Copies of this chain bind each other. A is one copy, B any other.
């Protein structure tokens, strides 16, 4: 086995790094989506309960409706959330998390919790690093 081209990941899965393009490597293919600027926030909200488009917009005030639409579409495309249209007048659209989404959010929520618990340590590391960069 060519050690320079193939490595065993901690997840226990061999991953051919000479072909680690986004479509071929599960890690990169999946992470690329949830790595978006707003994806984790939307997932965190929809993990609690379904929300309508306008509710999400109000809950995340600094998102443009362009990005909200696009993020929801991408998450729906990957199977994490469902989109249900109520043909009322005016129409209303409700987004909810799928089973696949919940199963992703289970480990993901641990990372988000880690971020909350260790944000101070990370910020402290940055200050220290930036200080040592001077002089």
Q: Which A residues lie at the B interface, using CB under 8 A?
A: 4-5, 7, 9-13, 17-18, 20-21, 26-32, 34-37, 40-41, 44-45, 47-48, 58-62, 76-79, 100, 103-105, 107-116, 118-119, 121-126, 128-130
10 nearest CB pairs, A to B? A79-B125, A35-B35, A107-B110, A30-B115, A26-B119, A11-B113, A77-B129, A26-B115, A107-B111, A26-B116
**What would 29 A/B residue contacts be, using CB atoms closer than 8 Å?**
A4-B58, A9-B44, A9-B112, A10-B44, A10-B48, A10-B112, A12-B113, A17-B59, A18-B61, A21-B62, A27-B112, A29-B115, A29-B119, A29-B123, A30-B114, A30-B119, A31-B35, A31-B111, A31-B115, A34-B35, A77-B126, A77-B130, A78-B125, A79-B121, A79-B125, A79-B126, A79-B129, A100-B121, A110-B111
